[in-house]
Structure 1
């Protein structure tokens, strides 16, 4: 299977020939690759909330396609009625996940599109919304590719004859989390497109407790792309870094504050602290849509607290904790900007001071 066949097989969010919103149910991976259609607002909301579709860019694409799909079902005789129904859908979808800024970015962009064409017929507006959602998806592919090309340049500098490049990543910021290439995995996929062999790289995937996105998704992706892949428990990262096997770390993120603090899947901050100790470059791969210039620091980023059964029951045949025990289950942590070597966007690699670097990108 070549790299394009690989992508065709596991694209996470797309529309079928009838315009139906179609996703891979990521909760079933790696055991089963099952695609499902999402037709109602409730199905789309549930898919985002329950992580059937996940990853900040993929959530944004799903939300854009989802609101276009559900808005097309609205019966309205005039623009005012249609706008009211649309805004109700927007608020409903926005309530599904609080942290991923791409969700709100995509919904706001769809609202802007609606309002900029209010003089047109309702049926025409519906078609325009579908086109804008498709633009968001195509732009995400280009953005991921841009991140990958910049990350690949870093990998080329590390390539030495006869020695594989040791790469570590956390959670899943891959094809499943975006419209195609991923963010943190994009450098590896671009390496394959540019003549690297899978054996030229050795990617170490943190399992990423408690939802195991690294074990279930990233390890699944990379191994299917024939990249040498090793899975390790999250608390083994320090030993692995100390061994000298890790040359570089790529992670994704769900939101970047103006000062460069980055919210990503829980465990990322600890990984960055260890990398700093061992002097290993730590890069956050972030589309510019993920950079929130209205959020001053990571302290201002809302952190989703998820259900306790993800820690106590999920993935186990029997409960693995005492009954009635309190559980703390934040979905994300915030990596301080001082721990980040660089933030790779599609427009360039930003370094400290991050706010100035972001401004140079026009953010």
Structure 2
């Protein structure tokens, strides 16, 4: 695997006494960095989508705890503030729980920094492993469709679903790549296409509403997505629009793959029915790039995640292995 070509972006960078984040709201027009110098700034960056993607959110939050410790701030309030930044992605809670466990051993800021760095390094290693495992499932000459952004921008590097695509392209099994635009923040259009173009991977952007038509054409053999939380029975919460892709894929005989690190698996959540779905400001739907495009007086409903039932998923890929036809029994064999 040529990681020099396919793994060059690092959107979350620790600089010793501050956290440097690539502002993903401005891509691809501007590559601008934000410096977070305390836990409050990290919380705001997570809430405002400066940093997004479940693994990257968890990594950033871990560094937010380090900043609080460096500044001798009370750590319990900092943990609570960071935890409340976004409710759906379990990686945020997982990373903060891991930092809390380290705090309970009496470690100082230096010890917490080692833990945060371990979280970041382990995510990168997991992504590269998942890339290998997921790509091995894909037959030669395949076309794939992905949704939202699951690449280096959303993780410590390489990516989850986009990591599988990178590995599949490098291995020669993936010949065609399509990315849905992902309204309303257009992470697919702005971020996934940005990463694919930087890597020199030929890809085509499609409107979200063109996905079923694309599948019917026979151009796609796999839909490959990430996850923000995977329940004990295999139900998966991911970016809004994922559920309808899974339904269309099953109807057209297209396989559906979820790629996420084990930190995304929440065995304490029995099913997707009990996952809290984040609702964001309706203004995000009523405007484009900050400019209102819908008539005044119109209202909107803006859930940013949905849940895909395990029955519509052909494979869940984690660094621990591949779970085909996931259900509660299969999940417990791997995650206990």
TM over 0.5: yes
Identify the residue that residue 314 of structure 1 maps to in structure 2.
288
The superposition leaves residues 292-347 of structure 1 with CA deviations (integer Å, 9 ceiling, x where unpaired) of 11111111000010001111113264x22121222100010101111111111111
Identify the residue that residue 135 of structure 2 maps to in structure 1.
152
Could you tell me how far 1:358 is from its partner in structure 2? 2.1
Q: Measured at CA, do residues 175 and 96 of structure 1 come closer, stay the same or move farther in structure 2, by a change above 3 Å?
A: same
Aligned pair partner of 1:258 in 202, 210, 232: 232
The superposition leaves residues 110-159 of structure 1 with CA deviations (integer Å, 9 ceiling, x where unpaired) of 0001112x2xxxxx62110000000000000011111111011123xx11
Identify the residue that residue 56 of structure 1 maps to in structure 2.
54
Matched residues in 2 for 1:106 and 1:72: separation?
18
Stretch moving more, 202-211 or 36-45: 36-45
Could you tell me how far 1:5 is from its partner in structure 2? 5.7
State the SS of the aligned residue for 1:304.
Answer: coil
The superposition leaves residues 38-75 of structure 1 with CA deviations (integer Å, 9 ceiling, x where unpaired) of 11222111110011100000001111111112221116
Identify the residue that residue 314 of structure 2 maps to in structure 1.
341
- Determine if the alignment matches structure 1 residue 89 to structure 2 residue 78: yes
Aligned pair partner of 1:31 in 17, 29, 32: 29
Identify the residue that residue 88 of structure 2 maps to in structure 1.
99
Identify the residue that residue 219 of structure 1 maps to in structure 2.
193
Could you tell me how far 1:195 is from its partner in structure 2? 5.0
Is the Cα–Cα contact under 8 Å of residues 3 and 225 in structure 1 kept in the other structure?
Answer: no
The superposition leaves residues 179-208 of structure 1 with CA deviations (integer Å, 9 ceiling, x where unpaired) of 01110011122245x5549xx532100000
- Determine if the alignment matches structure 1 residue 247 to structure 2 residue 224: no
Could you tell me how far 1:357 is from its partner in structure 2? 1.9
Is the Cα–Cα contact under 8 Å of residues 141 and 179 in structure 1 kept in the other structure?
Answer: yes
- Structure 1 residue ranges (4+ consecutive) displaced by more than 6 angstroms after TM superposition: none
- Determine if the alignment matches structure 1 residue 358 to structure 2 residue 331: yes
Structure-2-length-normalised TM-score? 0.95
Stretch moving more, 61-70 or 204-213: 61-70
Q: Measured at CA, do residues 353 and 242 of structure 1 come closer, stay the same or move farther in structure 2, by a change above 3 Å?
A: closer
- Counterparts of 1:227-246 in structure 2, within 5 Å, are 227-246=201-220
- Counterparts of 1:259-298 in structure 2, within 5 Å, are 259-298=233-272
Aligned pair partner of 2:149 in 154, 163, 172: 172
State the SS of the aligned residue for 1:61.
Answer: helix
State the SS of the aligned residue for 2:35.
Answer: strand
The superposition leaves residues 54-103 of structure 1 with CA deviations (integer Å, 9 ceiling, x where unpaired) of 0000001111111112221116xxxxxxxxx1111000001110101000
- Max Rg structure: 1
Identify the residue that residue 134 of structure 1 maps to in structure 2.
117
Is the Cα–Cα contact under 8 Å of residues 341 and 351 in structure 1 kept in the other structure?
Answer: yes
User: Pairwise CA RMSD of aligned residues?
Assistant: 1.6
Q: Measured at CA, do residues 5 and 348 of structure 1 come closer, stay the same or move farther in structure 2, by a change above 3 Å?
A: closer
Identify the residue that residue 79 of structure 1 maps to in structure 2.
none
Is the Cα–Cα contact under 8 Å of residues 224 and 257 in structure 2 kept in the other structure?
Answer: yes
Q: Measured at CA, do residues 305 and 361 of structure 1 come closer, stay the same or move farther in structure 2, by a change above 3 Å?
A: same
- Determine if the alignment matches structure 1 residue 12 to structure 2 residue 1: no
Is the Cα–Cα contact under 8 Å of residues 201 and 227 in structure 1 kept in the other structure?
Answer: no
- Structure 2: runs of 5 or more not aligned: none
The superposition leaves residues 257-303 of structure 1 with CA deviations (integer Å, 9 ceiling, x where unpaired) of 11111000000000000000001010011211111111111110000
